[in-house]
């Protein structure tokens, strides 16, 4: 099982930028915690961060056939990127959207997610812990998919 974590613009500045909103943790620390969870649960995890929309789209597309799920924090592109939304929709992988801050308590322009409608779930406002919640949620989603496929395969085998 492989999960790809896609991080959008300015997340490389976590721990430096607006600590009153995003807290003091650096992105590397968040990724280290996610890696520990992945190792403990015996699945592969890959991290990618870019400030460029096209690179984020490319990475999402690369997940097709290579990953089982995506955890994404599109950051500012959440509110503007139809391209990222379309890429998520195109690959058809379970995707969990994460936001460190509660976007619904922020400026009006941040309260609309273009991404959420094509995601399995959105986690907002839990700070860096939101990534841990996303990992738990993604694990559950992928286990349910695996169980359903096994059930379908068993039903098909008994029908033959």
Q: Which residues are catalytic?
A: 22, 99
> pLDDT over 70 for what percent of the chain?
98
Domains of the chain: 2-159 (3.40.50.9100)
Express each pLDDT in 115-144 by its tens digit. Answer: 999 999 999 999 999 999 999 999 999 999
Which pLDDT value is given to residue 108? 82
pTM (predicted TM-score): 0.91
pLDDT average, residue stretch 27-51:
97
Express each pLDDT in 62-115 by its tens digit. Answer: 999 999 999 999 999 999 999 999 999 999 999 999 999 888 777 787 778 999
Distance of alpha carbon 153 from alpha carbon 46, whole angstroms: 29
Contact 9, 77 (CB under 8 A): yes
Which pLDDT value is given to residue 91? 98
Tokens 């890696």 belong to: 35
**Cα-atom radius of gyration of the chain, to the nearest Å?**
16
Which pLDDT value is given to residue 155? 87
Contact 9, 76 (CB under 8 A): yes
Express each pLDDT in 42-70 by its tens digit. Answer: 999 999 999 999 999 999 999 999 999 99
> In this model, does residue 3 exceed pLDDT 80?
yes
Which pLDDT value is given to residue 156? 85
Which pLDDT value is given to residue 106? 73
Express each pLDDT in 4-18 by its tens digit. Answer: 999 999 999 999 888
CA end-to-end distance (rounded Å), the chain: 29
Which pLDDT value is given to residue 105? 78
């Amino acid at each position: 099982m492989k999960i790809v974590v896609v991080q959008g613009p300015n997340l490389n500045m976590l721990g430096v930028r607006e600590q009153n909103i995003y807290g003091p943790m650096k992105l590397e620390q968040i990724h280290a915690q996610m890696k520990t969870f992945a190792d403990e649960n015996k699945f592969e995890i890959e991290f990618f961060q870019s400030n460029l929309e096209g690179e984020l789209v490319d990475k999402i597309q690369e997940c097709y056939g290579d990953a089982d799920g995506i955890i994404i924090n599109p950051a500012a592109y959440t509110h503007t990127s139809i391209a990222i939304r379309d890429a998520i929709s195109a690959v058809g992988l379970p995707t969990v959207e994460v936001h460190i801050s509660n976007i619904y308590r922020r400026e009006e322009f941040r309260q609309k997610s273009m991404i959420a409608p094509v995601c399995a779930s959105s986690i907002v406002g839990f700070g860096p812990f939101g990534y841990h919640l996303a990992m738990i949620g993604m694990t559950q989603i992928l286990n349910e998919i695996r169980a359903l496929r096994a059930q379908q395969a068993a039903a098909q085998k008994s029908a033959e």
